[in-house]
Amino acid sequence: MPFTIAIDGPAAAGKGTIARALARHFGFAHLDTGLLYRAVGAIGGDPVAAARGLSPADLERDDLRSSEAGQAASRVAAIPEVRTALVEFQRRFARAEPGAVLDGRDIGTVICPEAEVKLYVTASDIVRARRRALELAADEALILAELRERDARDAARDVAPLRPATDAILLDTSDLSIEDALARAIDYAKAVGA
């Protein structure tokens, strides 16, 4: 049976960093599901058609990391048919042997409700904006406004809103280094059999 690790949380909380490192540690596959929504937003046109026709090459575009791509992703991610079109790909990925780590907003609640490990990674919005501004060499105040707008939209949408699964472990990284956050995540995954 494959082992699944679901990681959710708000923008720039450290989900991807922890997910990648966990996957490397355990020899699991990793899927950054935010890239799916970023690619659908970047393709433009009819988002439902873009989601249904999404190909691996679409995830390789080099314009997906920007703030604008994040905002476009959050808008298309509120469309129920877009989400439905992406479910099967994510669930198939989650069945990879010997295991898979998926990070996003609805992995523990909708995509993989049976995941062996569910982490809800968070940090204060000030800390998250500082980290993302450093990463993108962008203005911290602008990034903070963008993150707040995106988190509010993601949490308020009707379908698959951003929220911790009832059985998720909360990992607040506001005062944690990447190494410390990762060590806690590894300990927890080992404790439940990874």
Size of the site for ligand CDP (CB under 6 A): 29
Rounded-to-integer distance, Cα 78 and Cα 39, Å: 14
Q: Is 99 annotated as a binding residue?
A: no
Establish if 108 lies at the interface with ligand CDP (CB under 6 A): no
Residue pair 4/118 in contact by the 8 Å Cβ criterion: no
Establish if 104 lies at the interface with ligand CDP (CB under 6 A): yes
Q: Which of residues 131-150 bind ligand CDP (CB under 6 A)?
A: 131-132, 135, 150
Q: Pick from 79, 176, 184, 186: which binds ligand CDP (CB under 6 A)?
A: 176
Rounded-to-integer distance, Cα 139 and Cα 39, Å: 24
Q: Which of residues 22-41 bind ligand CDP (CB under 6 A)?
A: 33-34, 37-38
Residue pair 154/148 in contact by the 8 Å Cβ criterion: no
Residue pair 104/5 in contact by the 8 Å Cβ criterion: no
Q: Is 122 annotated as a binding residue?
A: no
DSSP for residue 79: -
Q: Pick from 3, 4, 6, 15: which binds ligand CDP (CB under 6 A)?
A: 15
Give all strands (DSSP E) within 33-168, no chain letters: 99-104, 117-122
Rounded-to-integer distance, Cα 118 and Cα 3, Å: 11
Q: Is 16 annotated as a binding residue?
A: yes
Segment near ligand CDP (CB under 6 A), from 91-99, 112-120, 172-180, 186-194?
172-180
Closer to ligand CDP by Cβ: residue 4 or 74: 74
Shortest reach from residue 141's CB to ligand CDP, in Å: 17
Shortest reach from residue 157's CB to ligand CDP, in Å: 8
Q: Tokens for 43?
A: 């393709």
Residue pair 99/29 in contact by the 8 Å Cβ criterion: yes
The region, left, alpha or beta by phi > 0 then psi within -120 to 50, assigned to residue 45 is left
Shortest reach from residue 83's CB to ligand CDP, in Å: 7
**Which spans of this chain sit near ligand CDP (rule: CB under 6 A)?**
9, 11-17, 33-34, 37-38, 70, 73-74, 77, 104-106, 131-132, 135, 150, 154, 173, 176-178, 181
